[in-house]
Amino acid sequence: RARLAARPDDPLLADTLARRYFDLAMAEGDPRYIGYAEAALRPWGAGKPVPPDLRVIRALLAQYKHDFAGALKDLAIAAEADPMNVEAHAWRAAIFMVQAEYAQAKAECEALAPYASELLATGCISYVDATTGNTRKAYARLSVALQGSPNASPGNRLWNLTRLAEMARRLGEPAKVEKHFRDAFALNVTDNFLLAAYADFLLDENRPADVIALLKDWARSDTLLLRLAL
């Protein structure tokens, strides 16, 4: 923050700080961090050229606030400037999934596949397939890919374990759901979405006391406070 205050027009510093704030928002579910990140990008307001990397983080902040049209536009510009920008394609796929635009999500997964790790590419397409009627096949394919990627980053492993838990839940296999969530928590990565997904599973399994134990210190997150209320 101090370095950016001294050089507010430095895009690398702005990108680094904004991404750190975004990571904190995703980890803790506290939207104030999104405002802090937006403040770091303020010098690139209307009329000023925006570097592709800043377009990506600006898009992530926009989608957090459900400005999906704005996020997709920035990500499209970033991907056009650099077709190898895996992050831009991956986030476009994620937004299209939220919007139930499954064909477009699949196209983004195919666009990132030549440049992404096998696990990331498989996770992307499996997520689409599992949501469009091919859950069992997608679950098997992603399970193999995860087992074959022991050196994947904790964040990547967590995302895919959470997807596997969702697929197992859809298949009606609660023991597998529990195992995938336990493996995800064992990575020791704080993640608001993981906590919410596991709380939803516990509520469905009629285990409210476990939800309270899991989330008792998370009332600052709106999404987790909702699960506590339930």
Dist. CA 180–CA 174, nearest whole Å:
10
CA 27 to chain centre: 10
User: pLDDT band for position 220 (50/70/90)?
Assistant: confident
The answer to whether residues 221 and 30 touch, using CB atoms and an 8 Å cutoff, is: yes
Using CA atoms, how far apart are residues 166 and 180, in angstroms rounded to an integer?
A: 9
What's the CA gap between 75 and 53, in Å, rounded?
10
Provide the pLDDT for residue 48. 79
Render pLDDT for 21-38 as a digit per residue (tens, 0 to 9): 999 999 999 999 999 999
Q: Tokens 């967590």 label which residue?
A: 158
pLDDT of residue 46: 72
Instruction: Please give the pLDDT value at position 27.
Output: 93
pLDDT of 198 strictly over 90:
yes
Residues 127, 151: Cα–Cα separation, whole Å: 21
- What confidence score (pLDDT) does residue 38 get? 96
- At residue 183, the pLDDT reads 97
Tokens of 42: 């303020």
* Mean model confidence pLDDT for the chain: 95
Rounded to two decimals, what is the model's pTM?
0.91
* pLDDT higher than 80, residue 47: no
91-132 pLDDT per residue, tens? 999 999 999 999 999 999 999 999 999 999 999 999 999 999
**Interhelix angle 154-170/118-131, nearest 10 degrees:** 20
